[in-house]
């Protein structure tokens, strides 16, 4: 495993799903007919890189799917938790209007989430 900088990531030629069949064919041809292989190209090294791609791409796709599902799960669970908290808050807010004991303290604490912050030019009041 390696890590590259954002500028290196930008500069490197990318292999995509459309490029994979091309690389696979070129690798087959290079192994079968090496007369066209440039002398500065180490076919064994290119083959190692190609094997790494073939083995890592399926794992990467699985991990990307897992990440997507984790993001969706966190989003839905967070939404449901937030809706539950809002229900509680609205109940406390209503209880405060009815002067129910202890409701005002909870309401004053929770309502801070919904108060807009004042800009520096706004007067206190």
pLDDT the model gives residue 80: 98
Where would I find the H helices in the chain?
6-11, 19-32, 43-97, 103-110
**How far, in Å, CA of 119 to CA of 105, rounded?**
26
Mean pLDDT of 83-92: 98
Q: What is the pLDDT of residues 20-66, one digit of tens each?
A: 899 999 999 999 999 999 999 999 999 999 999 999 999 999 999 99
Residue/partner pairs of 101-110 with CB below 8 Å, 24 or more apart: none
Q: What is the pLDDT of the chain when averaged over all its residues?
A: 92
pLDDT the model gives residue 125: 47
Judged against a pLDDT cut of 90, whether residue 69 lies above it is answered with yes
pLDDT the model gives residue 116: 84
pLDDT the model gives residue 107: 97
Mean pLDDT of 91-119: 92
pLDDT the model gives residue 98: 97
Which of residues 111 and 121 earns the better pLDDT score?
111
Mean pLDDT of 74-94: 98
Dihedral class, residue 3 (left if φ above 0, else alpha if ψ from -120 to 50, else beta): beta
Judged against a pLDDT cut of 50, whether residue 124 lies above it is answered with no
């Amino acid at each position: 495993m390696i890590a590259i900088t954002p500028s290196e990531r930008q500069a490197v030629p990318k292999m995509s799903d459309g490029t994979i069949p091309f690389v696979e064919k070129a690798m087959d041809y290079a192994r079968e007919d090496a007369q066209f292989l440039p002398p500065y190209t180490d076919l064994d090294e290119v083959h190692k890189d190609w094997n790494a791609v073939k083995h890592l791409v399926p794992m990467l796709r699985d991990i990307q799917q897992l990440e997507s599902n984790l993001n969706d799960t966190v989003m839905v669970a967070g939404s449901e938790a937030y809706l539950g908290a809002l229900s509680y808050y609205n109940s406390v807010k209503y209880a405060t209007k009815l002067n129910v004991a202890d409701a005002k303290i909870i309401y004053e604490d929770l309502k801070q989430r919904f108060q807009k912050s004042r800009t520096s030019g706004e007067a206190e009041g």
